[in-house]
Amino acid sequence: MHAFPHLYQASASAQPTSTVAVTSPGLSGLTTDAPAEFDGPGDLWSPETLLTAAVANCFILTFRAIAKASRFEWTSLDCRAEGSLDRVERVTRFTAFRVMAELHIPAGGDPEQAERLLHKAEKGCLITNSFVAETTLETRVIVGAG
């Protein structure tokens, strides 16, 4: 890992009625728009869906690092995240994130250790650690699945 602090860059550009082009050096660009809830088309990534996807993505990458450091064998991890957006004291913000993780481990694997590592990943996720919003984790460990 590189020394802290890390710096990440992204840019966005649009015209009055166009979609938004999101770019970052060295990465493929994304086309985004407002979600349907804000009268957007609802068929493109939005800041809200990107943020929620970042929660799921960060959870998996954090679990991967923790499992590797713990020499814990696993076969797959599926993670679904839901973000709840609300108005609080006249400010629109995310108030909660729900993370649902389904971990598959080989036959003979330790489901209790799997649960501990999943919860450790929740506590170590830098994205959710950066939020004011409450984050909850729901887990399911499946032993012997491929």
| pLDDT for the residue numbered 145 | 64
User: pLDDT category, 74, cuts 50, 70, 90?
Assistant: very high
| pLDDT of residue 31 exceeding 90 | yes
Averaged pLDDT for residues 54-62: 97
Q: What is the DSSP secondary-structure string of 127-144? A: HHHT-SSEEEEEEEEEET
For 120, the token pair is 């450790």
Q: What is the pLDDT of residues 112-132, one digit of tens each?
A: 999 999 999 999 999 999 988
In order of start, what are the domains of the chain with their CATH numbers?
Answer: 47-143 (3.30.300.20)
Q: Which residues of 127-138 are buried (b: 16+ CB within 10 A; e: fewer)?
A: bbeebebebebe
Whole-structure pTM value: 0.90
Q: What is the pLDDT of residues 132-141, one digit of tens each?
A: 878 889 999 9
